[in-house]
Chain A
Amino acid sequence: MTIILNPAMLADSLAGGAVIGTASAGLLLVNGRIAGISGIFARATKPDATLWQWAFLAGLLAAGAGAALAGYPLPADITKQSLPLLALAGLLTGVGTRLGGGCTSGHGVCGLARLSPRSLAAVLVFMGVAGLTVFVRRHVL
């Protein structure tokens, strides 16, 4: 095992995290809602959905569209992965985040910031299983 420490990457991650935290704090204090993306996504198509959910999701899409227009390169890995694998991963992510009531944003950022034991348990499990999945695919299979 080698640890890669790239100062520029570390700084970007910390700054990006702070921006994510600011957005979560803003949605909470201004709109009174938790920035849990899997939940917002799943509820947007429900009969009782309201416009704010679509607006938040549109914001996320707009960030991606903006990055494309600004010429920010598309991560190579997203084009390298096979579509059936991405479909399977998406399906598992959809099932898992609904059963588990949250993803990296809802449990990982908002839940931990709320000091929720439920979210801590979820984060430990999904991080652990994700790590194990990568380990098995890269070093065992």
Chain B
Amino acid sequence: MRALTAFAFGLLFGLGLLLSGMTDPDRVKAFLDIGGDWNPALALVMGGAIAIALPAFALAKRRKNCLLGEAIDLPAKRRIDARLLLGAAIFGLGWGLAGICPGPGLVLAGRLAPGALVFTAALYCGARLAERLGTAPVYSGSGRVLPFAMADRGRSRTTEHGYQRAKAWAATGGTEHGGGLGRRGGGAAPLPRGDA
């Protein structure tokens, strides 16, 4: 049942992307090109989507369980940190280059467009690469830990493994090099501050 409804919502999401124009990279780039012939239409995609999703999220915050009975899984992260901003900037670069974000990439892959298949395969490799970057403690030249090596305070399942590894590493003298856990490490030097 869960898979059936998830399929239906995935299909609906994909049809929305097709109707909205988000699956046309040329239109996406025209939307992003404020310096040229700017086509603001795609701003309405986000506007229309948020207008519908806003009350749903307000309702979800007050309910414990979804209609199929499970607990509603809302993100626990709160902090605006360097990892978030760095990641968003890297994604922005990729999105600006091709005009394709993950959803439209998958929809276009569904019609077997070679370019979209290449994009989606690379998307998979990139995701795996980020997990490696994000889970291993990485040193910068100054002996400090790079921002994306930080263990998140509110961590998702994806980073849980990395968090455990970082914790084990910090416990074995990681703090000497600047503190693998940022503010949690006793007497650790502050990490490069990218967060507000």
Please indicate whether A and B come from the same complex rather than being unrelated chains: yes
Interface residues of A (CB under 8 A from B): 1-6, 9-10, 12-35, 37-39, 41-43, 45-46, 48, 50-68, 72, 74-79, 81, 83, 85-101, 103-105, 107-118, 121-123, 125-135, 137-139
Q: Is the C-beta of B122 less than 8 angstroms from some C-beta in chain A?
A: yes
In whole angstroms, what is the CA distance A76 to B126 when docked? Answer: 25
In whole angstroms, what is the CA distance A42 to B66 when docked? Answer: 23
- The residues of A that contact B96 with a CB separation of less than 8 Å are 129-134, 137
Flag the segment in B36-44, B163-171, B172-180, B183-191 that touches A. B36-44
Q: Assess the B85–A121 pair: CB atoms within 8 A.
A: yes
Q: Assess the B53–A113 pair: CB atoms within 8 A.
A: yes
Of all chain A residues, the one with the shortest Cβ separation from B124 is: A94
Instruction: For the complex formed, measure the closest distance between the CB of A105 and the CB atoms of chain B, giving whole angstroms.
Output: 5
Report the interface size class on chain B: 35 or more
Interface residues of B (CB under 8 A from A): 2-27, 29-30, 32-57, 59-61, 63, 65-68, 70-75, 77-80, 83-103, 105-116, 118-131, 133-134, 148, 156-158, 196
Of all chain B residues, the one with the shortest Cβ separation from A130 is: B96
With A10-B44, A21-B52: A94-B15 Cβ-Cβ less than 8 Å:
no
Q: Assess the A67–B97 pair: CB atoms within 8 A.
A: no
- The residues of A that contact B38 with a CB separation of less than 8 Å are 1-4
* A and B contact pairs by CB, cutoff 8 A, 25 listed: A13-B21, A29-B59, A31-B68, A34-B75, A53-B6, A60-B17, A65-B110, A67-B107, A67-B110, A74-B108, A77-B25, A78-B108, A90-B121, A90-B122, A91-B129, A96-B91, A98-B87, A107-B88, A121-B84, A127-B92, A128-B92, A131-B33, A134-B29, A135-B35, A138-B35
